[in-house]
Every structure is written in C-alpha cells, then in structure tokens.
Structure 1
Amino acid sequence: MNRNKIYELVEEINSISKLVNRKISSGKHKKFTITTLMIMNQLRIGNVKTLTELSETLCIPNSTVSVIVDKLVKLGIVRRERDEKDRRKVLIYIKDEGLQQEKQIIKCRMDYFEDLFKNASDDEIDCILRGLKILEKFMD
C-alpha cells in the first residue's frame, strides 16, 4: 500500500476518533469521558480492582487512572478502601450510584448512535461493520 493511502487512513481514524469522543463526551454526561467509562466498566465487571490492575487492563498510565478515580470518588461513584490483608493496597469499588450512572450513560450513547444511523441502509451498516472488523483484525 502506498504511503499516501496509509496517511489517509490515519487521518480518517483520527478524525472519527475525535468526533466520537466529542459527541460522546458532551451533553448532560459531559464529565464522563470514554476513559472514565472504561474504568467504570472494568470496576463493574471485576467489582474490585487496584489502580495498577485498572492501569494494566486498560493500558493507561497509572497517574491518569489515579486522577480519574479521584474525580469518581468526589462524584460519589466509586470508593477507595485499604485492603485488610495488605494495607499497602488500595481497592477501588464501584458504588450503586456508579452502576446507575453507567446504565444511564450507556442508554444515552445507544440513543445517540441509533439516531446517528437511523437513515443508514442495512448494506451501509454491514459495510461499516466489515470495515471496522478488518481494522480490528489488523490492529490485533
């Protein structure tokens, strides 16, 4: 593949990524970025995690995870507790409020994407899905 095509691909991926981030991180759930939602999701799935576990699972720097968790603690969405077996460890739990918030945000995001694609044909949706699956294969 020639270099111009690769450049065009990179530009399109960046453009789409920025658009999705901007659209998803706007509105009444503005304080919940994609990274914030990824952390909330990991806590819901695993119930309890440490900062390091979140950082390694999501491939995000520990410092970034720490800042986001601090914000979530202030919002009352997660709580931190010292591990009783190992006092050096700080465990992070998602609270019921966090689970409720996550459900609402996911619903809003699904509504957004349903509205976005409401005029797309099945063929267009299939084409987008094929392209995304091919991209995922190359990235994996």
Structure 2
Amino acid sequence: MNQYEDVLVALRRIIRATDLHSKQLSKTTGLTAPQLMILQTLRNFDELTVGEVARKVNLSQATVTTIIDRLERRNYVKRERSQKDKRKVYVYLTDEAHESLIDAPKPLQESFINQFQDLHDWEQSMILAALERVAHMMDAQHIDASPVLDVGPLDRNISNKTDNAKNSGDQ
C-alpha cells in the first residue's frame, strides 16, 4: 500500500470513530456533539450571549444561532433580554437541559485530550503541524469547525438556511 493510502485509511478510521461516537451520543441523549458542547458551555457560565457562546465553542455565530434555535424548540434553552442592556439577549439552560446533562456520556475527545496531554511538547507540536497541513491539503481551512468531534454534512448550515428560506417562502 502507498503511504498516501495509509494516510487515507487513518483519516477514515478517525472519521469512523467520530461517526460511531456521534451515533451513540445521539442514541443515548438525542443530541448532536455540537448541541451537547453548547449545553455544557452554558452550564459552565452564569449568562452568555449567542456571540459569547460561539467564541467559547469556536464556531461561527450563525452556526451557534441555528443550534440554539433547535435547542430552544426542544425546550433545552431559553433566551432572555437583558434588563440592564436591552440590546443583549442571554441564553440559559432549562431544567430539562440540566437533567439531560447529568446522564450525558463523556465526549470522545476527552480520551484523546488525556492521551494528547501526556505526550511531550514536541510530539504535540508535530501532530498539530501534520494535521494542519492535511487540512490545508484537503482545502478545509475555511470550514467552520469546533474542538468537538462531529460528523455530518459540511454544508449543513447552508442547507438549513436554504430549507428555512424555502419554508418561509411557503407561508
């Protein structure tokens, strides 16, 4: 096997592990990895705006807004306008979300993080440089991504916006 084939196999294994974990997460909690990450972030802070959540989870504000919209429809979060500054809207967890987080499985990346942090600094830098290079070679540097492993269509925000536009035009 050529070395590039070995690289592709390793990438497929990473994607497959992420996919299996995401399916298990969805099966046990009914949540996607980004949804869970946002809920966990909200749990860790008293009050955050959508923009602050987006910065903390390293996703675009548009992506986080779409996810929060879905979580709000499922009664996991609520939005409240600030009494001090009417321009700000904060996002809070509901009791239902707090209950869901109690039994939520640990993220797949937690095991990775523990093992990664056990490596020497030079090993960590080597892995990071290699993965950044692979992302660039795949022309993926422009793709919105968070530090949480998740799978799904890369253009799901675009297709959601298209679907929303179609649905709003039907009304």
Corresponding residue for 1:55?
A: 54
Corresponding residue for 2:101?
A: 102
Counterparts of 1:130 and 1:47, CA distance in 2:
26
Identity %: 25
**Cα distance per residue 1:83-133 (max 9 Å; x no partner):** 2222111101112221111113x2xx36xx9xxxxxxxxxxxxxx879952
Corresponding residue for 1:45?
A: 44
Aligned length in residues:
117
Unaligned segments of structure 2, at least 5 residues = 130-171
Corresponding residue for 2:6?
A: 5
Whichever residue aligns with residue 18 of structure 1, its letter is D
Q: CA deviation at 1:3?
A: 3.4
Change (3 A) 1:68 1:5: same
Corresponding residue for 1:69?
A: 68
Counterparts of 2:51 and 2:79, CA distance in 1:
13
RMSD (Å) for aligned C-alpha atoms: 2.8
Counterparts of 1:24 and 1:16, CA distance in 2:
12
Compute the TM-score of the two structures, normalised by the length of structure 2.
Answer: 0.58
- Higher RCO structure, 1 or 2 (CA under 8 Å, sep 6+): 2
Whichever residue aligns with residue 38 of structure 2, its letter is I
Compute the TM-score of the two structures, normalised by the length of structure 1.
Answer: 0.69
- Given that 1:48 and 1:92 are in contact with CA atoms closer than 8 Å, whether structure 2 keeps it comes out as yes
Whichever residue aligns with residue 57 of structure 2, its letter is L
Q: CA deviation at 1:55?
A: 1.0
User: More helix by proportion, 1 or 2?
Assistant: 1
**Cα distance per residue 1:70-91 (max 9 Å; x no partner):** 2222222211111222211110
Unaligned segments of structure 1, at least 5 residues = 114-127
